[in-house]
Structure 1
Amino acid sequence: SVIEKERKGDYLGKTVQVVPHVTDEIKQWIQSVSSVPVDGQTRPADVCVIELGGTVGDIESMPFIEALRQLSFSLGIVGFSCCN
């Protein structure tokens, strides 16, 4: 979606960057899927579990880690857990 927005000119010709452009898209996607009703209900679930796979420290996972870090500030109630 970031590439599509860039090609449409949504960034007004400016350089597309991981922060904030990619991280904002990740946060938007998380918020949109977490608000979808599940199991035939008419309202969203009370809890949304997001699995962030990969190895912490790998450059490929950094945008996702940063997006979740930013999301924790905007939502205020976000728990993180690490499992091996």
Structure 2
Amino acid sequence: MYKSILKCSIAAVALSLTSMALHAESYPTKPVRLIVPFPPGGSVDYVARTISQKFSENLGQTIVVDNRGACQISCVLRS
């Protein structure tokens, strides 16, 4: 009795992990936004664009750098 319960629970865990792995392959489906809380043209913008190129190569997804000069934490949370 306990062996059959153990086998069923192992099978259920294996199936759930397999389904999670299949769903994880398509992430991210939309372009990723990198919010920079400084105006464009500065050193922070340069670093953000350099990092976004590496992220784009690793993820295989478009990274959009969104410069928001004088941005507070509230404007980042609204995005």
Between Structure 1 and Structure 2, the one with more helix by share is: 2
TM-score, structure 2 as length reference: 0.34
TM-score, structure 1 as length reference: 0.32
Between Structure 1 and Structure 2, the one with more strand by share is: 2
**Which structure has the greater CA radius of gyration?**
2
Structure ranking higher on relative contact order (CA contacts 8 Å, 6+ apart):
2
